[in-house]
Structure 1
Amino acid sequence: MGIYSLKGSEVFDARLQQDLDRVVRVLTASDAESTYRALVLIGGYGRGEGTPRIVEGRQEPFNDYDFVVASVPMNRQRRNVVQGRLRLLEKQLSRDLGLPVDLQLYPANSLPHAEFSLLNYEMKYGHKVVWGDPDALRALPAYPHEQIPRSEGTRLLLNRGKLLLDIRRALRNGQMLGKEDKLRFVKFIGKAYLAFGDCALLMAGAYDLSYAVKKERIGGVSIGTPEAEFLTERYRQAIALKEWGDYAFLPDYPLAEEFEIVRQYFLRFFPWYESARLKVESTGTEAYTRALIHGPRECPAWKAALLNIGTFGQAAVSPQPDFLWRHPRSRLYLALPLLLADEPVALPAIARLLLAANDDQETVEERFYTLQRRFS
């Protein structure tokens, strides 16, 4: 067991450490260095469960580098300025390291009020401080393990469903996929299966940070999910590939066929999860709309109204006035199964839901992407 992965070698750890040291040097050499308190590695490598990609017998970094940059207290204006600088550093580091780098600013005064999200939960309990104050995140709330909001599972499915839409668009357009494109899409399919299993565990109150724990628990909680044996098998396969990223199978991988399998499963799993979360028997579009409007809130009504008005203006009361008082993600939850449905998808209905300028496929899907990036 390595420092940053379960199966990586000491050589892999040293290789990863070189990249982390590079990030530290760039961050601490920047103009705003005096405002930073710590650089915190989160995600798979931060939990010690990252992926070593096997390339001609070598172990190479593969996961995105996700960091929290803990800082001194600051107001919103100052925060926006500093986050803008970090975005520029992200681009520089992503080019230098050949992997996506994310630097998310968390000022000290924001920590005690950080929402109870799956991201913040995993950040609180599964991270490594690679530079600076080892207690930089101590002020985060003590999120109870047994009280993770079930809506966080829906949010996870939304973000993984977006990846499936990426694949669908590429296959639909008939674009020639290079090796790296195919690898990226295979990774997306694995992330979808991980999300299905994580959501099954979350619904059963058996969620854990560690995939080593989750792969043992999944067999006992998948009963009742759509095609439980299939879910358990694919979840464990995805974990195995995450633990040891050997993609030698890639040249013969039937991407279109495997995408269709995971797409169809998403269309069965998502309604199952939402039916269980919202305690409704049916999640057809009309019933699901009512359940979202009258079900548990993801944020206070006043905050939802501000977000909706800021995003949609006066149209925020369309197609139903009650949407004003619900988080804008509710529209995305409704739209995603329609976007991934069998062709032809209901573009006019999705356009009305997302308040898109037109109901052609490109406009509707780009509208979804824009909103998903903002509210993911």
Structure 2
Amino acid sequence: MDKLPMVYAREGSTEFNAFIEKTLGALAEEVRQAMISTFVALVLGGGYGRGDGACVLREGNESLYNDFDLFLVVTKPMEVPLQVLEVTKKYEHMLNIEVDIGKPLTINDIKHLPRQLMYQDLLQAHVVLLGDQKVLTANAPSYLLEPLPQVDALRLLLNRGSGLLQAMLEARALVLDPSHQMPDPDFIRRNREKCTLSFGDSLLIQAESYTPSLLERQKRVKSLKKEKNLENLDELKSLYEEAVTFKLRPDSLPLCQNELDDLLYIADYWVSVLLFVESKRTGKSWASVSTYANDDFIRESEQHTKKKLLRNVVKNLKRGKFSLRYPREQLYRQLASLLGNVQVSDPDWNREAKDFLSLWQLYN
């Protein structure tokens, strides 16, 4: 009896998952051949690495939708070799998705991975495509198995709220010019659903109940109880359910892009979740989102230790300003202000939104 393939896309057929497995195996072998002497392992993370990758029908055929998120483990510090980039570009062209490889990791890098959502997800749910099968589990720090720090809810909301802001700018551009070309045809809808997924995930992080498994998170969000200052929990749960459906099978929902009015409605929910999780994390309270945006308390204390203050000064000087604060501190306050008072027809709001996104690209 033939061995069943691993599950990369929960909603895909056995044949589709077998296709993914075969494709990834071939890709991994080509990466190894491109760098034989320094190769340790190639690891798949992201949705497909967790078994929660999307499957869509295109012209009646099951197709990939998400990126391949790859992590290359090497014997010494280096940038991604050009030969490896040639391999990823080849597969991007073949598969019509992005194939991402970040800066290669050494074993020492793995031993000192920061306590962040991305690395907890990677450690607890990944596939080693080729090489040492225990390269992560044997070397990653044990704190990546502990509950996430609550500040990760804030970081996640910054990330997904920034995507919502970009979707708003694209929706506005379409209103002004129906022939406007978006970064990709599904850009607005995808960023809207990723943002709504972050609402439930942020609540789970705050409650120290987050897990990499999408279906387990779905169960845990359903079981959340209403609390003071979170009266819209039922609506948040409904949005989360829709986002889970989209993540697994994007074409099961209407294919039309969300209009600006809908995105404004989502921004209101973003604000409510932000104020709730930040209030629970800090013990502070704010009368409005503008009050939160104007509060200059430090959001990420770990970025402001004595050892990191000089780094912060250097990064700010490169931006033409003097500050001891890590630049991402500005982003938290600025995004709260932008999404708390959306004025897409105002040139000043649009200018600030674009300036924000430029800085976010550097410090996300």
* Structures share fold, TM-score greater than 0.5: yes
Q: CA deviation at 1:27?
A: 1.5
Aligned-partner Cα distance in 1 for 2:326–2:88:
29
Equivalent-residue separation in structure 1 for 2:238 and 2:212 (angstroms): 20
Residue 112 of structure 1 and its aligned partner are, at CA, apart by: 1.1
| The one of 89, 93, 96 aligned to 1:95 | 93
SS in 2 for 1:130: strand
Instruction: State the Cα deviation string for residues 170-228 of structure 1 (Å, max 9, x = none).
Output: 12223436799442321111111111000111111211111111111112225223510
**1:132 is matched with which residue?**
131
Deviations 1:302-337 (CA, angstroms, capped at 9, x unpaired): 35423422322187875xx5xx1x432111111112
Matched residue type, 1:107: T
Paired AA for residue 12 in structure 2:
G
- Separation in structure 1 between the aligned mates of residue 310 and residue 73 of structure 2, nearest angstrom: 27
1:325-361, CA deviations, whole angstroms, 9 ceiling, x for partnerless residues? x43211111111222233448x9xxxxxxxxxxx956
Unaligned runs of 5+ in 2: none
2: CA distance, partners of 1:287 / 1:255: 28
Task: Give, in whole Å, the separation in 2 of the partners of 1:142 and 1:296.
Answer: 22
Counterpart CA distance in 2 for 1:368 and 1:155 is 15
Correspondences of 1:69-80 after superposition (within 5 Å)? 69-74=72-77, 79=78
Q: What displacement does 1:2 show?
A: 5.7
Question: 1:36-90, CA deviations, whole angstroms, 9 ceiling, x for partnerless residues?
Answer: 211100011111111111334432111111011011133xxxx2x3467755654
Residue 62 (structure 2) aligns with: 59
Q: Which residue of 2 aligns with 1:8?
A: 12
Match for 1:238 among 243, 258, 268? 243
Structure 1 stretch 147-156 or stretch 11-20: which is displaced more?
11-20
**Residue type at the aligned position of 1:117:** Q
Partner amino acid for 1:202? Answer: I
- Between stretches 12-21 and 211-220, larger displacement belongs to 12-21
**Residue-by-residue CA offset, 1:69-128 (whole Å, 9 max, x unaligned):** 011133xxxx2x346775565445433431111112111121111110001111111100
Residue of structure 2 equivalent to 1:168: 168
- Corresponding residue of 1:113: 112
Check whether the contact 1:73–1:109 (CA below 8 A) recurs between aligned residues: no
Provide the TM-score with structure 2 as the length reference. 0.85
Would you say the 8 A contact 1:19–1:97 is kept in 2?
no
Normalized per residue, the structure richer in helix is: 1
Separation (CA, whole Å) in 1 of partners of 2:124 and 2:327: 28
Q: Indicate yes or no: 2:268 matched with 1:270.
A: no
Query: Which of the residues 44, 47, 50 maps onto 1:47?
Result: 50
Aligned residues of 2:115 and 2:144 also touching (Cα < 8 A): no
CA contact (8 A) 1:222 1:232 kept: no
Name the CA distance, whole Å, in 1 between partners of 2:140 and 2:6.
27
- Separation in 2, partners of 1:62, 1:133: 28
> Which structure 2 residues correspond to residues 133-282 of structure 1 after superposition, within 5 A?
133-137=132-136, 138-143=138-143, 145-174=145-174, 175-176=177-178, 181-221=184-224, 223-224=226-227, 225-247=230-252, 249-251=254-256, 254-282=258-286
- CA spacing shift, 1:362–1:83, aligned 2, 3 Å: farther
Q: Which secondary structure does the structure 2 equivalent of 1:281 belong to?
A: coil
| Residue in structure 2 matched with residue 351 of structure 1 by the alignment | none
Change (3 A) 1:84 1:179: closer
Compute the displacement of 1:134 (Å).
0.6
| Contact 2:338/2:349 (8 A) holds in 1 | no
Alpha-carbon RMSD: 3.0
User: Contact conserved, 2:69 with 2:101, CA < 8 A, in 1?
Assistant: yes
Contact 2:113–2:140 under 8 Å retained in 1:
yes
Distance 1:19 1:124, change over 3 A: same
User: TM-score, normalising length from structure 1?
Assistant: 0.83
For the structure 1 residues 67 and 369, does the alpha-carbon distance in structure 2 shift closer, same or farther, using more than 3 Å as the test?
Answer: same
SS of residue in 2 equivalent to 1:246:
helix
Q: Quote the Cα distance in structure 1 between the aligned partners of 2:340 and 2:293.
A: 16
Q: Which moved more, 1:63-72 or 1:32-41?
A: 32-41
Q: Percent identity?
A: 26
Q: C-alpha distance in 2, partners of 1:145/1:59?
A: 35
Point out 4+ residue stretches in structure 1 off by more than 6 angstroms: 314-317
Distance 1:165 1:142, change over 3 A: same
Report the equivalent of 2:309. Answer: 305
* 2:301 match: secondary structure: coil
Within 2, Cα distance between the matches of 1:68 and 1:221? Answer: 34
In the alignment, is the contact (CA less than 8 A) between 2:10 and 2:51 conserved in 1? yes
Give aligned pairs, total: 352
Change in 2 beyond 3 A, CA 1:57/1:89: closer
Specify the code of the residue in structure 2 equivalent to 1:151: V
Q: Is the 8 A contact 1:2 1:9 kept in 2?
A: no
